[in-house]
Amino acid sequence: MSSQVSWWVFGVMTVVLILNLEFSVVEGGASEETKIHIVYLGEREHNDPELVTASHLRMLESLLGSQKDANEFMVHSYRHGFSGFAAHLTDSQAKKISEHPDVVQVTPNSFYEPQTTRAFEYLGLSQSSPKGLLHDANMGEDVIIGILDSGVWPESPSFSDKGLGPIPKRWKGTCVDGEKFDSKKHCNKKLIGARYYMDSLFKNNRTDSGIPDTEYMSAREVFAHGSHVASTAAGAFVPDVSDNGLGVGTARGGAPKARIAMYKVCWQTQDGSCATADILKAMDDAIADGVDVISISLGSAIPISREIDISNVFSYGAFHAVSKGITVLMAGGNFGPHAYTVQNIAPWIITVAATSLDRWFPKPLTLGNNVTLLARTPSVDPELQAELIYVDSSKEMTSEAAGKIVLGFTTAENGESATDFLNKQMEVQAAGVILAGRRSDKMIVSEGLINLNIDYQQGTTILNYIKSTNKPTITVSPSIALTGPLVATKVAEFSGRGPNSVSPYVLKPDIAAPGVSIVAACTPEKMNYENGYTAMSGTSMAAPAVAGVVALLKAVHPDWSPAMLKSAIITTASSTDPYGEPIYSEGLSRKLADPFDFGGGLVNPDKAANPGLVYDADVQDYIRFLCASSYDEKSITKISKQTVKCPSPRPSMLDLNLPSITIPFLKEDVTLTRTVTNVGPVNSVYKLIVQPPMGVKISVTPQTLVFNSGVKKLSYQVTVSTTHKANSIYFFGSLTWTDGIHNVVIPLSIRTQMVKYFDQ
């Protein structure tokens, strides 16, 4: 193993030692407190791990003076991928052992507080900070979040109302009794509403809803999605939770003091039914009940319906909610990474993409040649040493694989799936399976069976090792926890991507938030979820994270419209992670993320609370957009309940006052208008900064915006032209207004189309 790899793995181990044991030793008659130190020795001198540990004990014995003390003060022996140990040492002992010629470095043990959900600490919403949005919003107290999902497990500690004040007087909703759901017992000052909807399931099948006996005929859930979503948005603080022992820490939602209203619209039927009629009824009830925010982690199959097609109940219902001042957030779908897969694309909805966190639970795999690789699948399995073999396909796994670890590859060509290998693993009683395939950051905790995911490069490294020796072996170590800047943030492979397939002039997704390996509440009756918490991945997890942020913003800016809230999170979002590193897009190949991956970028809650300028829009703006989209006046009248007469000629779709500019068919010069509202200091002057997309010219008038007590809104015009002579791909840029403190950034996504609808 190279020294680079060895040192990197040492860094990993340093990060994850979460130990707080203290001893006292006596040296020269003076008592000196000990602390855990990590002694890094570089490469192993012996292939036998027992010999490596013995050498560590000898070194420690020579320092402490006795074999007994060496055994007592030793904490860990690192003996597989590299050599080193952790021990209780005084500062003077640490200094002395650092002078040993075999020692590379001695490092004091670092202590990290793992946040199980971690998403909000990662985004800067720290409970320990005396300032910031979480503090200013009093954790979202009295903001009401409506969740449309599969129900709730009300006994979960995440839905405790400890420390909450009275239910807001404006709340008009209710808790509905049902099977194993007593409204007086299960609703409280946190879970203030619980309804369930199943009528249309019966009506579609007159006598049988298709709902199994295992379901609860109430707002209580069975399959763990709704509780997870609700607790991610607004769960209370719950200490000492984990996903099967990984990531032990405190779980909480984005707005821990916000109130939750659950609308159960999904049932565990054979079709996984979330009936559209029931969904629309639930949205209708939520509006009447008085929710402030609606979070929906549901979606439909591709192709996607148009904005005011009645089959698109989300868009339809959201239009009405937004017209009443309720912000609606929806998951961007899990059909990525291909283009045009983003869902829930209406411009009045906040559509959320999913990113990874700065946390990873890799599993070290040490080959017999001392090369260590880190598998992407975490598990709580103990260390295992076994012989290693390779098979071309699962069909080649015979009784000879019993007790061995099998390497296989999954590709489109061989048609092999993880299920094929795992079924065969159980049949032949193989000790484990290592599958090389496409990268994925989803966390599926392995239990009982060793089944690990690696990428093709790692798989090839292992295969080459197998071919190089007559008796290849491998040591599979327990998962370690890596948190911090060493872990790159990525837009998840599954996250739905733009462009918008229905309205290509509207950028989607709008924003991104953590949605990979999010630990939150679930039903403890679900298999393997005995502790009531589990990790899940999906845009379903990202949407409620942003819903929690919006609830906080609503608490500090109760007069802001849904469009203003949406603008604030988009224009202040970041294209880098919290450590200043680029955000990548995980997919068929890795690249830097662009607006079709994450919209404005990664949500930045504290900056969103003070955006400087916002791009506002109301129902009339959306009606003009529908006119521009060539919807007939009768349909627009139906959705708006206003008599609509579209102007002639119809307006441009480019003039909807979005915090983005997307031009899918640029040929001739186009001019569009945007209007900004000052929500910062009354007397402000903003200057223009433009980063044009490649081959595109951007001209803006005026280039300075001056606000004062009499001028709160200003408009500017943008003229866009292309230098491309042929059809191009989308190129990206940005347009920023800055007063030196606030940077109000909107993404630019522009494609030249000399021949319309023809992609070369």
The string of pLDDT tens digits covering residues 561-584 is: 999 999 999 999 999 998 899 999
Strand 661-666 to 743-752 pairing = parallel
Over range 312-323, report the average pLDDT: 81
Could you tell me whether strands 684-691 and 730-738 are parallel, antiparallel, or unpaired per DSSP bridges?
antiparallel
What confidence score (pLDDT) does residue 123 get?
Answer: 83
Measure the CA–CA gap between 279 and 321, rounded to whole angstroms: 13
CA geometry: angle 477, 479, 483, nearest 5 deg: 140
Tokens (6 digits) for 6: 């060895």
Residues, the chain: 760
User: 266-275, 648-657, 687-696: which range is least confident on average?
Assistant: 266-275
Q: How confident is the model at residue 202 (pLDDT cuts 50, 70, 90)?
A: low
The DSSP bridge partners found for residue 751 are 730
Interaxial angle between packed helices 619-628 and 633-640, expressed in degrees from 0 to 180 and rounded to the nearest 10: 160
| Predicted local distance difference test score (pLDDT) of residue 118 | 64
Who wins on pLDDT, 550 or 5? 550
Q: What confidence category does residue 39 fall into, taking pLDDT thresholds of 50, 70 and 90? A: confident
What integer pLDDT is reported at residue 122 of this predicted model? Answer: 75
Structural domains of the chain, with CATH: 3-108 (3.30.70.80), 119-358+489-608 (3.40.50.200), 362-480 (3.50.30.30), 613-752 (2.60.40.2310)
The predicted pLDDT at position 120 comes to 77
Where residue 8 falls among pLDDT bands split at 50, 70, 90?
very low
65 contact partners, CB below 8 Å, separation of at least 6 = none
The pLDDT of residue 206: 40
Residue 640: which pLDDT band, with cuts at 50, 70 and 90? Answer: confident
First to last CA, the chain: 46
Cα–Cα distance measured from residue 94 to residue 356, given in angstroms and rounded to the nearest whole number: 37
pLDDT, tens digit, for every residue of 398-453?
888 888 999 988 875 655 666 777 777 778 888 888 888 876 555 444 445 567 88
Q: How confident is the model at residue 592 (pLDDT cuts 50, 70, 90)?
A: very high
User: Measured between alpha carbons, how far is residue 48 from residues 56, 370, 466 in Å?
Assistant: 13, 11, 19
> Rounded to the nearest 10 degrees, how much is the dihedral formed by the CA atoms of 200, 202, 205, 209?
120
Mean pLDDT value of segment 53-73: 91
At residue 443, the pLDDT reads 47
pLDDT at 322 over 60: yes
Across the range 97-110, mean pLDDT stands at 77
Non-local CB neighbours of 549 within 8 Å, separated by 6+ positions: 123, 125, 133, 254, 255, 513, 569, 603, 605, 608
C-beta separation of 594 from 509 below 8 A: no
> Does 672 have pLDDT greater than 70?
yes
DSSP 159: G
**Buried/exposed 9-33: b ≥16 CB within 10 Å, e otherwise:** bbebbbbbbeeeeeeebeeeeeeee
Confidence band for 549, pLDDT divided at 50, 70 and 90: very high
Other CB atoms within a 10 A radius of the CB of residue 654 amount to: 18
From residue 443, alpha-carbon distances to 331, 351, 409, 583, 598 in Å are 19, 23, 19, 19, 21
Q: Which H helix or E strand runs over 547?
A: helix 539-556
pLDDT score for 587:
83
Phi and psi dihedrals of 8, rounded to 5?
A: -65, -45
pLDDT at 35 over 50: yes
Pairing of strands 191-196, 259-264: parallel
The pLDDT of residue 183 is above 80: yes
Query: Cα separation of 298 and 344, whole Å?
Result: 9
Question: In 10 A of CB 499, how many CB atoms?
Answer: 23
One DSSP character per residue, 509-570 reads: --EEEE-SSEEEE--TTSTT-TTSEEEE-SHHHHHHHHHHHHHHHHHH-TT--HHHHHHHHH
Q: Is 371 exposed, middle or buried (0-12, 13-18, 19+ CB in 10 A)?
A: middle
Let me know the angle formed at the C-alpha of 608 by 602 and 611, rounded to the nearest 5 degrees.
125
- Cβ atoms of 224 and 524 within 8 Å: the answer is no
Of 487-491, 511-515, 683-687, least confident by mean pLDDT is 487-491
Distances (CA, A) of 547 to 234, 255, 544, 684: 9, 8, 5, 30
Reported pTM: 0.80
Give CA separation, 232 vs 269, 272, 404, 592, 739, in Å.
25, 22, 40, 27, 35
Q: Which residue has the higher pLDDT, 280 or 179?
A: 179
Q: How far apart are CA 186 and CA 156, in angstroms?
A: 10
User: Is a pLDDT exceeding 90 seen at residue 462?
Assistant: yes
Mean pLDDT on 311-319 = 74
Give the separation between CA 746 and CA 748, rounded to whole angstroms. Answer: 7
Report yes or no: 370 and 258 within 8 Å, Cβ to Cβ.
no
Per-residue model confidence (pLDDT) at position 13: 33
Query: Stretch 497-502: mean pLDDT, rounded?
Result: 92
Structure letter (DSSP) for residue 255: S
The DSSP line for 494-507 is: TS---S-SS-TTS-
Q: What is the mean pLDDT of residues 304-322?
A: 72
**Which residue would you say has higher pLDDT here, 587 or 247?**
587
Q: Which two structure tokens, joined as six digits, stand for 134?
A: 């979480």
Least confident residue range of 59-68, 242-251, 345-354, 471-480: 242-251
pLDDT value at residue 31: 58
Quote the CA–CA distance of 419 and 413 in Å, as a whole number: 16
| Best-predicted range by mean pLDDT (5-19, 408-422, 543-557) | 543-557
Alpha carbon distance 497, 503 (integer Å): 14
The residues carrying an active-site annotation are 149, 225, 540
DSSP state letter for 152: B
Cβ atoms 51, 41 nearer than 8 A? no
Q: How many CB atoms lie within 10 A of CB 6?
A: 23
Q: Between 397 and 31, whose confidence is greater?
A: 397
pLDDT of residue 112: 28
What does the block give as tokens for 218? 């109430």
Radius of gyration (Cα) for the chain, nearest Å?
28
For residue 608, CA distances in Å to 95, 582, 617 come to 47, 20, 17
Distance between CA atoms of residues 486 and 476, nearest Å: 22
Confidence of residue 42 (pLDDT cuts 50, 70, 90): low
Least confident piece of the model among 219-223, 609-613, 652-656: 219-223
Element counts in the chain: helices (H) and strands (E): 19, 38
Q: Each residue of 283-292: pLDDT tens digit? A: 888 998 999 9
pLDDT top residue among 651 and 360: 651
Structure tokens at 427: 């049949």
* Tens-place pLDDT, residues 325-359: 999 999 999 988 999 999 999 999 999 999 998 87
State the chain's mean pLDDT as an integer: 84
Give the long-range contacts of residues 99-108, CB within 8 A, separation 24 or more: 100/59, 102/41, 102/59, 103/39, 103/40, 103/41, 104/7, 104/40, 104/41, 104/42, 105/40, 106/37, 106/38, 106/39, 106/40, 107/14, 107/37, 107/38, 107/40, 108/35, 108/36, 108/37, 108/38
Predicted pLDDT at 697: 97
